Structure 1
Amino acid sequence: MLTDGLHDVPRGKVAMVVTHLEMHAPAPTRPQPLPKGITFRQRQPDLAWYRDIFSRVGALDWLWYGRLKMADTDLSAILADPKVAFYTLTRDGRDEAILELDFRQEGQCELAYFGLTSELIGTGAGRFLMNEAIRLAWMQPITRFHVHTCTIDSHLALSFYIRSGFTPYRRQVEIDDDPRLSGLLPEAAAPHVPIIRP
């Protein structure tokens, strides 16, 4: 158990505070039309599509890396699982968002990944996508919809989830190898998180 006060993070590691949030009934949504020129659609992703959209939405700006370090066979199993659903927003023929809903735990849905590329931020597309996430999750027989975010993600993420009707219920500290030092991500990724070399 951690005690109060400061705790050293080993060199070569990243540390983040993870906040877990949940809702136990559909949250009311604020109507948001889909911005002009953008379409919403479901995807049956392959590895190339998924790794591309995952990287463009989160890896370079926010240090998303969990799915990038997975073996192809393990990630392919998730992508092919009928209890995991994938959606995107498309503009000018290019997908610019990820919405991943994971129903593998009975009676629950995890908002596993949610985000937009910089091309759509500020257009209202994020609110539209969250409205769809809430609608689609609660169309299934669930009693809990949950998500987590962390302090190396966008500083807007936590407040957005709370405004969307999720309630924080748990906080954890996570420490992991810095993915930029292993070459998984470029060293220029997520400049708001400094690299501290071993």
Structure 2
Amino acid sequence: MTETIAVTTWHLEQNAAADVVPVAAPDGLDLRVVRAELIGPEFARFLYTAVGGPWTWTDRLPWTYAQWQDWLAKEGLETWVAWVSGTPAGYVQLEPHRDGEVEIAYFGLLPHFIGKGLGGHLLAYGLQRAWDLPDRHPALPPTRKVTVHTCSLDGPAALRTYQSRGLRIARTETSHQPATPPPGPWPGA
């Protein structure tokens, strides 16, 4: 019999740009947040595995190169990358939906940068970009809501970070999943 664990998932939302709670970038870091306008499957998969490996992000590990290409070609999908002294430190990926909802599809930091005050700043920046996404993609409807979900497998500060940037819990659910160890940033890590 496969061992299972209870996983709580929180679905959060924000209903107005004015609800974003900004936070200053940490002092003393050469930090830039840049939109990856020419992102390819290699870099997208790198970010996904490097950030999500410690937190059991596994849904996209089996994706083919073509599946990554299709995902990245979605109208309005944006990936914003935090760079510290020329090194990728984390990212926030925005996925617009045709009804005016923009989902924070992925957000997080590489392990080396956790605890340095970058997460709140990057998330607030990403939220602001979600609200002004139609300015960069005129074919999209105006943003009416920004959503994200996090679960009890994510980093211990994830839920608190989302709430401190102005997102509110819309619903909570609990499911049982097979107990699997986090994959790490690369196979066998």
TM range (shorter): 0.7 to 0.9
Corresponding residue of 1:196: none
Q: Secondary structure at the match of 1:96?
A: strand
Tell me the matched-pair count.
178
Aligned partners of 2:95, 2:43: CA distance in 1, in Å?
18
- Work out whether residues 130 and 146 of structure 2, in 8 Å CA contact, stay in contact via their aligned partners in 1: yes
Q: Which has the larger radius of gyration?
A: 1
1:1-198 equivalent positions in 2, closer than 5 A: 11=2, 13=4, 15-26=6-17, 27-33=19-25, 35=27, 36-43=29-36, 44-59=38-53, 61-139=54-132, 140=134, 141-177=142-178
CA contact (8 A) 1:57 1:116 kept: yes
* Deviation for aligned residue 1:179: 5.7
- Structure 2 Cα separation of the partners of residues 28 and 98 of structure 1: 18
Segment drifting more, 12-21 vs 103-112:
12-21
What are the Cα deviations for residues 38-92 of structure 1, in whole angstroms up to 9, with x where unaligned?
A: 2211113211111111111111x11111121223322211112232100101123
Distance 1:106 1:130 in 2: 22
Letter in 1 for 2:149: H
Is the 1:180–1:187 Cα contact (8 Å) retained in structure 2?
no
Whether the 8 Å CA contact 1:32–1:124 is kept in 2: the answer is: no
Q: CA deviation at 1:123?
A: 2.2
Output the amino acid matched with 2:34: R
Q: What is the root-mean-square deviation of aligned Cα atoms in Å? A: 2.6
Cα separation, 2, equivalents of 1:138 and 1:156: 24
Percent identity of paired positions between Structure 1 and Structure 2:
24
Distance in structure 1 (CA, Å) of the matches to 2:7 and 2:98:
26
Q: Is 1:108–1:144's contact at 8 Å kept on the other side of the alignment?
A: yes
CA–CA distance in structure 1, aligned partners of residues 41 and 5 of structure 2:
26
TM-score (structure 1 length as normaliser): 0.78
CA contact (8 A) 1:40 1:88 kept: yes
Using the alignment, how far apart are the partners of 2:3 and 2:91 within structure 1?
A: 29
If each structure's helix is expressed as a fraction of its own residues, which one has the higher value?
2
Whether contact under 8 Å (1:53, 1:96) holds in the other structure is no
- Segments of structure 1 that go 5 or more residues without pairing to the other structure are 1-9, 189-198
CA–CA distance in structure 2, aligned partners of residues 78 and 45 of structure 1: 11
TM-score by length of 2: 0.82
